[in-house]
Amino acid sequence: MCSLSRRDFLASAAVAAATSSLVAAQDKPATTSAAKIEIEKRQFGATDMKVTVLGFGGAEIGYQGIDQVTVDKILNSALDAGLNVIDTAECYAGSEESIGRAVSSRRKEFYLFTKVGHMEEGAAGWTAASIEKSINRSLERLKTDRLDLVQLHSCGRDILEKGECIAALEAAKKAGKTRYIGYSGDGDSALYAIETGRFDTLQTSVNIVDQQSIELTIPKAKARNMGVIAKRPIANAVWRYDTQPENGYVVEYWKRLRKLDYDFTRGEAARDAGPDGAAGVALRFTLAVPGVHVAIVGTTKPERWAQNEEMLAKGGPLSQARFDAIRARWKEIAPADWVGQI
């Protein structure tokens, strides 16, 4: 999964981070711990949760095999800085276990979301028995007696229509294993999930290069007062790659961005770590989409969550003019087959 260009990127980013923290230490040694940022929280649909707009996405720590010491640092420093949403899944290769080990002792400080459906291969994962087993396993791995949210992990509309998996989630809710239930996915399946009226939340892709949900699903979820989680919210930061990345997961986004060619993702702006650089505008765009409550940014780096929090605080809400320009560019360039990416 980790390509050569990806490794190169991580190495240069680590040097950059080390350099910038040295500069920060020389310039203003006293302000680092004093300047605690009060991060914005949003009412999460009709649930009883008020979620921090910046959450934590647990896929990368699992798929990239990040060691436990680093995961401990990533999560504990983010919680110290104000994080209150951690999202993971049963199939994120060790993510649930490392989250459990890192922060189960601080369980009261955050909302814990996971997903089900891929515990067994293919169709075998989409049965009531498999879902029940998966939830029990997640509780064990995450070292907790209750989840705040369990989501069906991107199953197709055909599975949703059968109703068995939704009923299995409802049974888990009734049994007190999870407080809320949701659907995580895109396009027509997400639309169908919303229209069943049986889910408390929707998790869907929404970002500068993936905007189908802004008209197709998020307004409908909003109208039903569902909690809305933005996945892939910073568009996998694909402006970092000068050439096509080897990691197939991000290639479609990389290709889209080349065509969209936003001014804030080229040249100096692509390297600008401030709120008006690529990452800042991308994340502020996602959080400006009406109906979105939390952006679960994935990371492999201990300093990243606090950096993104600071970037959001410095930039404030994206201006309407900039939001409209990004929407207009998408409408001008995006062909009909640029659908929401899983």
Ligand X SMILES: NC(=O)c1ccc[n+]([C@@H]2O[C@H](COP(=O)([O-])OP(=O)(O)OC[C@H]3O[C@@H](n4cnc5c(N)ncnc54)[C@H](OP(=O)(O)O)[C@@H]3O)[C@@H](O)[C@H]2O)c1
Per-position x/- string for 154-173, each x denoting binding to ligand X as judged by CB under 6 A, each - no binding = x-------------------
Tell the smallest beta-carbon distance from residue 169 to ligand X (Å). 15
Nearest C-alpha neighbor of 329 from the set 279, 232, 259: 259
The residue among 60 and 200 lying less far from ligand X, judged by its C-beta, is 60
Considering only residues 28 to 67 of the shown chain, the ones binding ligand X according to CB under 6 A are: 57-60
The residue among 144 and 207 lying less far from ligand X, judged by its C-beta, is 207
Q: Is 299 in the site for ligand X (CB under 6 A)?
A: yes
| Nearest-angstrom CA–CA distance, 76 and 262 | 35
Tell the smallest beta-carbon distance from residue 259 to ligand X (Å). 18
Tell the smallest beta-carbon distance from residue 222 to ligand X (Å). 19
With CB under 6 A, what is the number of residues at the site for ligand X? 30
The residue among 227 and 298 lying less far from ligand X, judged by its C-beta, is 298
- Which of 79, 257, 297, 318 is close enough to bind ligand X by CB under 6 A? 297
Tell the smallest beta-carbon distance from residue 328 to ligand X (Å). 22
CB 150 within 8 A of CB 135: yes
Tell the smallest beta-carbon distance from residue 153 to ligand X (Å). 5
Q: Which tokens sit at 203?
A: 């998790």
CB 153 within 8 A of CB 90: yes
Q: Any idea of the CA torsion for 50, 70, 286, 284, to the nearest 10 degrees?
A: 90
Determine the Cα angle at 283 with ends 269 and 222, to 5°: 150
Contacts of 101 (CB under 8 A, 6+ apart): 68, 71, 72, 143
| Nearest-angstrom CA–CA distance, 303 and 57 | 15
- Which of 184, 189, 201, 211 is close enough to bind ligand X by CB under 6 A? 184
Q: Is 100 in the site for ligand X (CB under 6 A)?
A: no
Q: Which tokens sit at 162?
A: 């059968």
Count of residues in the chain: 342
Tell the smallest beta-carbon distance from residue 209 to ligand X (Å). 10
The residue among 8 and 332 lying less far from ligand X, judged by its C-beta, is 8
CA distances from 99 to 72, 142, 294, 329 (A): 8, 6, 19, 39
| Nearest-angstrom CA–CA distance, 29 and 248 | 42
The residue among 141 and 231 lying less far from ligand X, judged by its C-beta, is 231
CB 37 within 8 A of CB 275: no
Tell the smallest beta-carbon distance from residue 133 to ligand X (Å). 19
Considering only residues 191 to 250 of the shown chain, the ones binding ligand X according to CB under 6 A are: 203, 231-237
Considering only residues 306 to 335 of the shown chain, the ones binding ligand X according to CB under 6 A are: 307-308
Using CB under 6 A, list all residues that contact ligand X: 13, 57-60, 87, 115, 153-154, 184-185, 203, 231-237, 279, 296-301, 304, 307-308, 342
